[in-house]
Amino acid sequence: MSIPDFGVGTFRLQGQVVIDSVRNALELGYRAIDTAQIYGNEAEVGQAIAESGVPRDELFVTTKIWVDNYAKDKLVPSLRESLAKLRTDQVDLTLIHWPAPGKGVSLEEFMTALAEAKAQGLTRQIGISNFNIELTRQAIAVVGEGEIATNQIELSPYLQNRKLAEFLQSQGIRVTSYMTLAYGKVLKDPVIGEIAARHRATPAQVALAWALRLGYAVIPSSTKRENLASNLLARDLRLDDEDMARIATLERNGREVSPAGLAPDWD
């Protein structure tokens, strides 16, 4: 089962806000939803899905295991709790949220436990998030080639992460881009703005279309229905080679997220 190109993210959305966001997204045609244990909103996401009327088999639901649950005796039970909150017997994708080298659980232990979760039928696919090249190699060595569906990484026109992205693609691992708009910073970029004006598009649509053209999956979030609808139109925006070349010049290693103790040494 492939990773959907376009989904809705739920990072930092809580309570009724996340319920409304997911409900609006599903009404607009989104069918992939990304959440995580640490977001504290799995129950609300599950409620929104249940109340939407959209059949479960039409949806692609992703969650992520938090670092406190990496130990072999904790990972599977924690995923079962996530499934209960999400009101489903199985998620489509489960990720290790951060490599967390400072948290005392070895990569071999948590990747083995993640593979066990798949073997038990709790998740259809497994993957990783925020892993560098070396840690991705180690993860492949534990679970086997072809088992890691995606590496979800911060990636935007200001943080293009080409070396890591090219490595992942060479391994058949889908790149999922999060924070593709860099907390909105790229929306004010004059180059992005010029490209958007030429295509009669929004800057957000340009940034998302850029990632899609590079073969990445995207999971933008919004609390506003009109922005959710607008973002979805990025799928129909065709950037040309000149557009892509201009965006390529915007690289500035503009990383927004790198928590101490959780993040790896970045490539």
Let me know if residue 121 belongs to a domain. yes
Let me know if residue 242 belongs to a domain. no
Q: Is 178 designated active site?
A: no
Tokens of 103: 């948290």
Let me know if residue 97 belongs to a domain. yes
For the segment 24-50, what is each residue's pLDDT rounded down to a tens digit? 999 999 999 999 999 999 999 999 999
Q: In the chain, how many domains are there? A: 1
Tokens of 234: 């990025």
Binding region for substrate: 97
Let me know if residue 40 belongs to a domain. yes
Let me know if residue 261 belongs to a domain. no
Evaluate whether 216 touches 165 at the Cβ level (below 8 Å): yes
Let me know if residue 106 belongs to a domain. yes
The pLDDT score that the predictor gives to residue 123 is 98
* Three-state secondary-structure class, residue 38: helix
Between CA 195 and CA 137 the distance in angstroms is 37
**pLDDT higher than 90, residue 102:** no
For the segment 119-178, what is each residue's pLDDT rounded down to a tens digit? 999 999 999 999 999 999 999 999 999 999 999 999 999 999 999 999 999 999 999 999
For the segment 185-228, what is each residue's pLDDT rounded down to a tens digit? 999 999 999 999 999 999 999 999 999 999 999 999 999 999 99
Burial of 153 (0-12, 13-18, 19+ CB in 10 A): buried
The pLDDT score that the predictor gives to residue 1 is 65
* CATH code where residue 38 lies: 3.20.20.100
Mean pLDDT, the chain, integer: 98
Let me know if residue 136 belongs to a domain. yes
For the segment 116-128, what is each residue's pLDDT rounded down to a tens digit? 999 999 999 999 9
The length of the chain is 267
List Cβ neighbours of 41 (8 Å cut-off, separation of 6 or more).
10, 13, 14, 15, 18, 35
**pLDDT higher than 70, residue 70:** yes
Exactly one of 39, 158, 178, 216 is catalytic; name it: 39
Let me know if residue 169 belongs to a domain. yes
Domain with 169, as residue range(s), is: 8-182
